[in-house]
């Protein structure tokens, strides 16, 4: 075996340029495959993060703007939700809306505890918000109905914020903090897994309305629904929502930009299909790129076999077994594939890590809701190793045809070859 390896590497050194160009095609192929999969994973992870933050039977509404004049109001008029919308969505769709809750926010709030501080957003919510948005409270409790009715100054913070303020998140419950100039008591700590950017703390909806002079404004509405999980039911529900809220805010019932509606059930189904198509397309493009490198290896091995025909004839005349010649050609193909494939794999992983550092935390704000659009664009080690294994097997197959041709060379014909 050692003699075979020495022979193979000697042959590769004799044809440095050809070996380098062949290896380059292999490295580029697997490099592009890893980068494409990483970029696709960035989009898919962002979708899964956003979808995982909301229960699958929740419909969310945001106010928009009128795309056409209606009832005395001009095009571009901004729609604003208020407490009337909460009452309408709570009672206006019996059997389809089980509960309706609102949300408010106040940005750039400075929360101080002694000499420590954190800056971010206060989000005014109802007690149902935690269930609808899968907020997991690890210590203490979430906002309660009594907090809302009495407008209590209580706050629920993320574990990272609690640790920043008090050193240990478990010591935060019951402590007092100052948000701008108002004193709040921390009643709960939630698991801020995957939280993007700065602090987000939850306070009672009514308290935020009062302290920050929000009046009766509501920024967004969440509804726990039943029976709107099909396309037909979703379309009917959207039409009913626009008609009812259009009468309240004086916009046309068919004005789709007046309110923005997201149904987590149908949206998740459509997005999952799109992500599946994206993943398949990325693998297809990547494998086609790999195929170009494999074809290059096959062509190079054919040339190698032709150049070594005389050598193979002498070896067969001296009694060399067909398997030794077959093994020599196959090993050369596998070594080129594995060596340069590994180089391309490492460079691809480095590129995805760099992509993660540069663009792996991109977010977009939709109606005061911060959502990642590109998250963790990396490739699992198992996927990378499987890609390398596929490449090595492809290299083995690429070398089989030239190797088979080498074995079939008759000694007398090979000795005549120049």
Q: How many CB atoms sit inside 10 A of residue 208's CB?
A: 20
Q: Is 180 left (phi over 0), alpha (psi -120 to 50) or beta?
A: left
Beta strands in 67-158 (DSSP E): 81-82, 97-113, 116-125, 137-140, 154-158
pLDDT of residue 368: 43
12 vs 72, residue with greater confidence: 72
| Helix or strand holding residue 222 (H, E) | strand 220-225
pLDDT at 51: 60
CB 264 within 8 Å of CB 133? no
- Coil, strand or helix: which one is 135? coil
5 has pLDDT over 70? no
Looking at residue 33, what is its pLDDT?
A: 82
Q: What is the pTM of this model?
A: 0.58
Region 172-193: what's the mean pLDDT? Answer: 92
| Closest by Cα among 325, 18, 66, 368 to 217 | 368
Of 277 and 5, the structure prediction assigns the larger pLDDT to 277
* Residue 355 to residue 374: CA distance in whole angstroms: 10
Q: Quote the pLDDT of residue 269.
A: 63
Specify the pLDDT at position 143.
96
Instruction: Between 132 and 381, name the one with better pLDDT.
Output: 132
Instruction: Give the per-residue pLDDT at 2.
Output: 55
| Residue 147: pLDDT over 90 | yes
Report which secondary-structure segment, H or E, holds 184. Answer: strand 182-190
Choose the weakest-confidence range: 159-163, 238-242, 275-279: 275-279
**Comparing 186-195, 225-234, 251-260, 354-363, which segment has the lowest mean pLDDT?**
354-363
SS3 182: strand
CB neighbourhood size of 21 (10 A): 12
Domain boundaries, the chain: 2-53+268-416, 65-96+226-257, 98-219
Summarize pLDDT for 118-146 with one digit per residue, the tens: 999 999 999 999 988 888 899 999 999 99
Integer Rg of the chain from CA: 32
Question: Which of these, 110, 122, 124, lies nearest to 219 by C-alpha position?
Answer: 124
Token pair belonging to 165: 């303020």
Q: Is the pLDDT of residue 367 over 50?
A: no
Q: What is the pLDDT of residues 278-325, one digit of tens each?
A: 778 877 877 777 777 677 777 776 776 666 666 666 776 677 676 776
The per-residue pLDDT for 53 is 58
Q: Average pLDDT, stretch 240-267?
A: 90
Average pLDDT taken over every residue of the chain: 82
Half-sphere exposure for 270 (CA within 13 Å, toward CB): 10
């Amino acid at each position: 075996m050692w003699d075979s390896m020495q022979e193979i590497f000697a042959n590769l050194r004799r044809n440095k340029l050809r070996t380098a160009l062949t290896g380059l095609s292999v490295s580029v192929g697997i490099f592009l495959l890893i980068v494409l999969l990483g970029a696709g994973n960035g989009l898919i992870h962002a979708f899964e993060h956003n979808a995982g933050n909301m229960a699958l039977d929740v419909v969310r509404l945001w106010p928009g703007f009128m795309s056409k004049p209606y009832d005395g109001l001009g095009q571009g008029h901004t729609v604003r939700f208020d407490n009337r919308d909460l009452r309408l969505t709570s009672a206006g769709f019996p059997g389809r809306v089980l509960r309706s809750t609102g949300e408010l926010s106040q940005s750039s709030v400075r929360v101080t505890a002694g000499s420590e501080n954190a800056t971010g957003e206060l989000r005014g919510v109802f007690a149902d918000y935690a269930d609808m948005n899968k907020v997991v409270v690890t210590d203490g409790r979430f906002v309660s109905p009594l907090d809302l009715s009495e407008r209590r100054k209580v706050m629920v913070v993320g574990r990272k914020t609690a640790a920043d303020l008090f050193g240990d998140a478990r010591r935060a419950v019951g402590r007092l903090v100052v948000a701008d100039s108002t004193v709040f008591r921390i009643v709960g700590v939630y698991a801020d897994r995957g939280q993007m950017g700065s602090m987000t703390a939850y306070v009672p909806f009514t308290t935020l309305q009062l302290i920050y002079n929000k009046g009766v404004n509501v920024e967004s509405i969440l509804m726990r629904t039943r029976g709107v999980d099909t396309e037909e039911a979703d379309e009917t529900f959207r039409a009913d929502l626009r008609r009812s809220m259009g009468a309240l805010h004086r916009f046309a019932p068919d004005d789709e930009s007046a309110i923005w509606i997201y149904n987590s059930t149908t949206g998740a189904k459509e997005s999952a299909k799109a992500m599946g198509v994206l993943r398949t397309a990325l693998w297809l493009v990547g494998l086609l790129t790999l195929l170009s490198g494999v074809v290059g290896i096959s062509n190079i091995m054919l040339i190698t076999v032709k150049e070594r025909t005389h050598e193979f004839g002498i070896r067969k005349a001296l009694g060399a077994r067909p398997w030794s010649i077959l093994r020599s050609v196959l090993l050369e193909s596998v070594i080129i594939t594995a060596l340069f494939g590994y180089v391309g794999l490492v460079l691809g992983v480095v590129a995805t890590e760099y992509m993660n550092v540069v663009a792996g935390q991109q977010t977009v704000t939709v109606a005061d809701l911060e959502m990642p659009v590109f998250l963790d664009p990396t490739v699992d080690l198992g996927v990378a190793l499987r890609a390398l294994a596929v490449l090595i097997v492809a290299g083995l197959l690429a070398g089989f045809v030239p190797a088979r041709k080498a074995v079939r060379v008759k000694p007398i014909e090979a000795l005549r070859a120049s």
